[in-house]
Amino acid sequence: MDVASTSGGGSSLPSVGTDGTKRRVCYFYHPTMGNFYYGNGHPMKPHRVRMTHALLEKYGLLRHMRNDPATLRRFNIDDVECPIFQGLYKFCQLYAGASISAARQVNLDHYDIVINWSGGLHHAKKSMASGFCYVNDVVLAILSLLETRDRVLYVDIDIHHGDGVEEAFYTTDRVMTVSFHKFGGYFPGTGHIDDIGCDRGKYYAVNVPLDDGIDDESYLYVFKPVVAKAMEVFRPNAVVLQCGADSLSGDRLGCFNLSVRGHGECVKYMRSFNVPLMLLGGGGYTLHNVARCWCYETGVALGIEVANKIPDHQYSEYFGPLFRIHLPTTNMANKNSRKSLDDTIAKVLANLSKLQAAPSVQFKEQSSPMDLDEVLLCLPLIPAF
């Protein structure tokens, strides 16, 4: 299915400081994505992307976007965390190829916001699968963005630390990584506040460790000043926002207490900076809540408030008995005191203040088209319909 673009030619981005409602939004989806299956009992369900797509279709959001046509142990493959399943290679091609295609659309200035909810698999390393992630599409997308952009900001609101992305860019000043995550006795065990990057990348890795039960108010209390400071000192030419939905209340593997609206407020805030924005998926293991969240956030990207009542469609039974986008959060205790949050904010802002201005870019020989083609031969782009 090929739907209309959100606008005609030319940039629709207004001047900084005004969050206009209109954005040119490009959405990447492949109808076979939901067919892949990690195995019995595995919490990662690619079917969640198909459920999200069904909601977007029923809410009429698709018509506002352009759908772009376009040894095992050594690599940490096992039967539990990162199993082999039928179509694994194709699965990796689809989600990674979509993120690379999304980055190319940004590079060509065709769209202001690009979306790939099947992407955001932020744990994979260069030669190792990890945390349900096989290929780190985020890293590939950022590398593509760096072909035309001086600086890229990566922000991660998954409950798990974005370790694979941080590791890939730990020594560079052209990518700043900012991760808000549960820290302490929790996978992947990285993301200490004192992990700040090294060499040219010192202070360009930003880690915001959080504790169980954090709610919307507390999360945004930390998120907004940290992101505002990062935007001020780093001045990115593009932003990649990993929107892992396992930070939502009631997630099967999570322990945060965010509402869909609170999670979506992070997207809204990033959108308000009027910088080209890539939205990616990530974690999220209570399927109906993942679909609720990413449908709502697609609306946020478009500047459209989706109706709370979920329309009848082929997956309606997943959303009962309330059939609503917005559900109440739980009464779990918030272990993040205001003092602990203030201390975290103060330390992070102090580190960011050591960056006096946006870094200069050292000109180097760029990868030739031949080099890029070689990469894409390994991850061919699969058209999305």
d(CA 350, CA 27): 37
Helix (H, G, I), strand (E, B) or coil at 115: strand
Beta bridge partners of 308: none
DSSP readout, 174-218? SEEEEEEEE-SS-TT----TT----GGGTT-EEEEEE-TT--HHH
Contact 242, 272 (CB under 8 A): no
Which among 380, 337, 279, 208 is positioned nearest to 28, based on CA atoms? 279
Please give the angle made by the CA atoms of 50, 56 and 60, to the nearest 5 degrees.
145
Is 137 part of any known ligand binding site?
Answer: no
288 catalytic? Reply is no
Beta strands in 261-350 (DSSP E): 277-280
User: Which one of the listed residues 123, 161, 181, 263 is annotated catalytic?
Assistant: 123
Q: How many CB atoms lie within 10 A of CB 249?
A: 24
Find tokens 């039967």 and name the residue: 79
Which among 100, 115, 112, 98 is positioned nearest to 8, based on CA atoms? 112
Beta bridge partners of 115: 27, 279
Contact 278, 239 (CB under 8 A): yes
d(CA 53, CA 292): 10
Is 160 part of any known ligand binding site?
Answer: yes
Q: How far is CA 8 from the centre of its chain?
A: 26
d(CA 153, CA 228): 12
Residues contributing to the annotated binding site for a divalent metal cation: 158, 160, 246
- Looking at the annotation, which residues are catalytic? 123
